Amino acid sequence: MPVIIFTEHSEEKIKKSSLEAISYGVALAGKLNTDAIAFVVGPTAATLSELGDFGIKKVVHANDSSIVTSDTKSMAAIIAQAVEAYQADIVVFSNTLTAKGVAPRLSVRMKAGLVTGAVALPDLTDGFSVRKTVFSGKAFADIQILSAKKIISLNQNAFEIIKSTGKAEVIPFTAANIPNSIKIKKINRVAGEISLAEADKVVSAGRGLKGPENWGMVEELAKLLGAATACSRPVADSNWRPHHEHVGQTGLSIAPDLYIAIGISGAIQHLAGVNRSKTIVVINKDPEAPFFKSADYGIVGDAFEVVPKIIEAVKQLKK
């Protein structure tokens, strides 16, 4: 009764968030004394046997370029077939944009209780309960899954990637009678940016920066640190920055290792989306800014003076 991990890839490689899901799935399978199988859909340039480096012994690959991976109906149908073929009891997803469309559909198909936004391995001492974020990151809930089959969608940056050694066997999988319910007209991609949801470092700025013309130093610091850029809601609302950078209760909820907030007051709705970050740095000229209460490190000062100095110091460090 193996654990299947739905494994996503970008053009060339397996996504970092899926490696987290794989590490989670492998650990869970270990706890349950069963196997972990990575399930991959669509052609990819990634060498799938290398998933052995993360403890996977078997990769099942539906290598069919005709599958419309954006179609939640097709994807749920394909995964359900793999679940059936391998008699899996548990399916693990990373809680990505794709998973949000597919995991609940699969939950209905399999009659499997679903926990989205999981942050830890299940507690098996009394049934099967999974901790997840609720109240937009302000609390956690332990959700008991009552059904025999189970689906867990793991939050990004919530579980450490665990390295192992070995080679995985790659088994082709042919899905049958896949419905296609949508027609893709066009795709616009903003190339070259670090995905905010997956980023382990984020540099974020707010209305304190006064205007879009002042974002150069934010971008420079982000680039130096290998970080993604984010912003507060009013900044996105005023079109100073693109909407997908908006974090908080009504934007993206993130949990990077490092979150640097520049000129952001730290309103409760902003904190809701970022307070799971492991280390929070706040730069704000107002010592009373609420954000300092949720920060690990803070500098009370003018961003226009402090940030360039930080950039210099990071450059020095890199030398």
Ligand X SMILES: Cc1cc2nc3c(=O)[nH]c(=O)nc-3n(C[C@H](O)[C@H](O)[C@H](O)COP(=O)(O)OP(=O)(O)OC[C@H]3O[C@@H](n4cnc5c(N)ncnc54)[C@H](O)[C@@H]3O)c2cc1C
In sequence order, the 6+-apart residues with CB closer than 8 A to the CB of 104 are 114, 116
23 vs 229, beta carbon nearer ligand X: 229
Question: Which residue matches tokens 């970008």?
Answer: 10
- Bridge partners for 258 per DSSP: 201, 279
Q: How far apart are CA 94 and CA 155, in angstroms?
A: 6
Q: How far apart are CA 284 and CA 271, in angstroms?
A: 15
- Binding of residue 290 to another protein (CB under 8 A): no
CA count, 13 A, side-chain hemisphere, 130: 23
Q: Which residues bind ligand X (CB under 6 A)?
A: 206-208, 232-235, 248-251, 263-265, 267, 269-270, 273, 284-286, 289, 302-304
61 vs 132, beta carbon nearer another protein: 132
Given CA atoms 193, 198, 203, 207 in this order, what sign does their dihedral have? positive
Residue 270 touches which member of ligand X, another protein, none, C-beta under 5-8 Å by kind: ligand X
Among 201, 208, 231, 241, binds another protein (CB under 8 A): 201
Among 108, 163, 164, 219, binds another protein (CB under 8 A): 108
In sequence order, the 6+-apart residues with CB closer than 8 A to the CB of 60 are 4, 37, 38, 39, 40, 82, 86, 171, 173
Question: CB under 8 A: which stretch of 82-90, 112-120, 163-171, 204-212 binds another protein?
Answer: 112-120
122 vs 266, beta carbon nearer ligand X: 266
Residue 232 touches which member of ligand X, another protein, none, C-beta under 5-8 Å by kind: ligand X
- Among 99, 96, 152, smallest CA distance to 124 is for 152
Q: How many residues bind another protein (CB under 8 A)?
A: 96
- Among 54, 48, 49, smallest CA distance to 27 is for 54
Q: How far apart are CA 92 and CA 9, in angstroms?
A: 15
Residue 299 touches which member of ligand X, another protein, none, C-beta under 5-8 Å by kind: another protein
- Binding of residue 246 to another protein (CB under 8 A): yes
13 vs 285, beta carbon nearer ligand X: 285
Given a contact cutoff of 8 angstroms between Cβ atoms, the answer to whether 208 and 303 are in contact is yes
Residue 243 touches which member of another protein, ligand X, none, C-beta under 5-8 Å by kind: another protein
Among 47, 84, 124, 134, binds another protein (CB under 8 A): 134
User: Among residue numbers 18 through 57, which ones bind another protein (CB under 8 A)?
Assistant: none
143 vs 217, beta carbon nearer ligand X: 217
Q: How far apart are CA 167 and CA 77, in angstroms?
A: 28
Residue 169 touches which member of another protein, ligand X, none, C-beta under 5-8 Å by kind: none
- Strand, helix or coil at 292? helix
Residue 282 touches which member of another protein, ligand X, none, C-beta under 5-8 Å by kind: another protein
User: Among residue numbers 211 through 240, which ones bind another protein (CB under 8 A)?
Assistant: 225
Q: How far is the CB of 159 from another protein (least distance, A)?
A: 16
Amino acid present at 88: A
- Among 13, 16, 19, 15, smallest CA distance to 5 is for 19
